[in-house]
């Protein structure tokens, strides 16, 4: 068995760590790192340089200020690196601002962004900072357990392409989706005590690392 085949077998068997990076330019980096560090067989790293993606199996683009993050992604030459990461079918998860950056279109804006996910979004659709709230729901594809869903100036997904699966809707409003290798959530699982959503992300990373 060759080295690459052995690595894939070990990952599939749960005997080797997958490496997950959190884009560490701005936003809720520490919270994601703390959640990932609670999961077995996961090596975690803050990603500050594009070349660090070469060693990662998965990437989280955290919540934060999407306009600032977009500028930093461009300034530090991450745009093409993240697009190449996606083309390799490696797993990316964008939460809140990360969702906005991944979207193909933002309502009312002509923006330069990653545009890796076939969705259209509306900024701050669930209200301002003062309108932040916590919802509770079961997301069947993720877990049978009730999860807390923290919404802070959250975007709304207003349109989805045919390749998109809807994970969660709040009163008919789409707040979480995925395709083969990308997850996007309008809410912040990293701001709860639960690691359920991070475990779901890690399992997706492992499945595509086989």
The reply to whether 178 sits in an annotated binding site is no
Which residue in the list 31, 35, 96, 178 is annotated as catalytic?
Answer: 96
Q: Between these two residues, 43 and 1, which has the higher pLDDT value?
A: 43
Tell whether pTM > 0.85.
yes
The reply to whether 123 sits in an annotated binding site is yes
Across the chain, what does the average pLDDT equal?
90
Per-residue pLDDT for 10 more than 70? no
Q: Which domains, ranges and CATH numbers included, belong to the chain?
A: 3-209 (3.40.50.880)
User: Is residue 102 very low, low, confident or very high in pLDDT (cuts 50, 70, 90)?
Assistant: very high
Which residue in the list 32, 56, 190, 198 is annotated as catalytic?
Answer: 190
Per-residue pLDDT for 193 more than 60? yes
190 is catalytic: yes
56 is catalytic: no
pLDDT of residue 204: 97
133-140 long-range Cβ contacts below 8 angstroms, 24+ apart: 135/170, 135/187, 137/168, 137/170, 139/167, 139/168, 139/176
């Amino acid at each position: 068995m060759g080295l690459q085949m052995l690595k894939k077998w070990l990952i599939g068997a749960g005997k080797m760590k997958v490496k997950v990076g959190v884009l560490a330019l701005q936003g809720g980096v520490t919270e994601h790192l703390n959640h990932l560090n609670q999961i077995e067989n996961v090596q975690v790293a803050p990603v500050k340089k594009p070349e660090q993606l070469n060693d990662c199996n998965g990437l989280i683009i955290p919540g934060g200020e999407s306009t600032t993050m977009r500028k930093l992604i461009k300034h530090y030459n991450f745009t093409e690196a993240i697009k190449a990461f996606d083309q390799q079918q490696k797993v990316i998860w964008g939460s809140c601002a990360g969702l906005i950056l991944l979207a193909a279109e933002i309502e009312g804006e002509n923006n330069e962004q990653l545009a890796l996910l076939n969705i259209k979004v509306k900024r701050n659709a669930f209200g301002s900072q003062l309108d932040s709230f916590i919802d509770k729901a079961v997301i069947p594809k993720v877990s049978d357990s009730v999860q807390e869903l923290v919404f802070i100036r959250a975007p709304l997904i207003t349109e989805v392409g045919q390749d998109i699966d809807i994970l969660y809707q709040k009163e008919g409003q789409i707040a979480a989706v995925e395709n083969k290798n990308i997850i996007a959530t309008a809410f912040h699982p990293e701001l709860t005590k639960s690691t359920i959503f991070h475990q779901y992300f890690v399992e997706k990373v492992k499945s595509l690392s086989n």
